[in-house]
Amino acid sequence: MAERKKKTIHDFSWRFGVKLVAMIAALGGTAAYASARYTIGLDTQEHRCLDEWIYVIDTWKKPTADDVQRFDYVAVALTAEQTPANAKWRPGHVMVKRAVATDPGDQVEITREGINFSHGEEIWAHGTALEAAEMIGSTPEAFEREFQLAEGELFLMGDKVNSYDGRYYGPVREEQIVGTVLWAW
């Protein structure tokens, strides 16, 4: 019986090498495309704004303010003026919030008792008030105000009473939208 020769690296054909390089290039290209287009956001804060804590955001598909419907999730980057001094994040940090008022002309009234919205005959409310004011180093009175959304503005809120959201930083502009939230878990 003939003894089998042990294969070495030199015994593999050049065709196998070409296939291996092509496979690595295809996988690498797919990974590069996916990482350039999609962002996975993790909300690991002690006090989260929404029930979900994992978000997949398509950064190549940015909705306009007209595309956003009430209660949609929106991924935005806050400006320096919208970021509190004691924040644990930097301006430009991406946040996911729920759109609560989306149409030009929507009236927003922020009080210590709650948030009221109206547009023509339609009236709706959000039960949370200004519970997080002290956490960001201020008083509820500092945030009480009333305003009307302009063209290209959205009013965003978290679902939790202590979330840092539009109650404190006001409306966001369409230019601050960084992408479409595809999935939230």
Residue 144 has pLDDT above 90, yes or no: yes
Confidence of residue 4 (pLDDT cuts 50, 70, 90): confident
Sheet holding 122-126, edge to edge: 122-126, 115-119, 107-110, 145-148
Residue 15 has pLDDT above 90, yes or no: no
Residue 87 has pLDDT above 90, yes or no: no
Structure token digits, residue 6: 């042990």
End-to-end CA distance of the chain: 62
Residue 11 has pLDDT above 70, yes or no: no
The average confidence (pLDDT) of the chain is 92
- pLDDT single digits (tens) 146-183: 999 999 999 999 998 888 999 999 999 999 999 999 99
**pLDDT at 25 (0 to 100):** 97
Residue 33 has pLDDT above 80, yes or no: yes
Select 38-184's CATH number: 2.10.109, 2.70.70, 2.40.50, 3.40.1420.
2.10.109
Q: How many residues does the chain have?
A: 185
Structure token digits, residue 143: 């945030």
Long-range Cβ pairs for the range 80-89 (8 Å, 24+): 81/169, 82/169, 82/170, 82/172, 83/169, 84/136, 84/137, 84/138, 84/164, 84/168, 85/137, 86/136, 86/137, 87/136, 87/164, 88/45
Least-confidence region, from 10-14, 22-26, 98-102, 164-168: 10-14
CA dihedral sign of residues 15, 16, 22, 26: positive
**pLDDT at 3 (0 to 100):** 78
Closest CA to 51 of 59, 63, 43: 43
- Predicted TM-score (pTM) of the model is 0.85
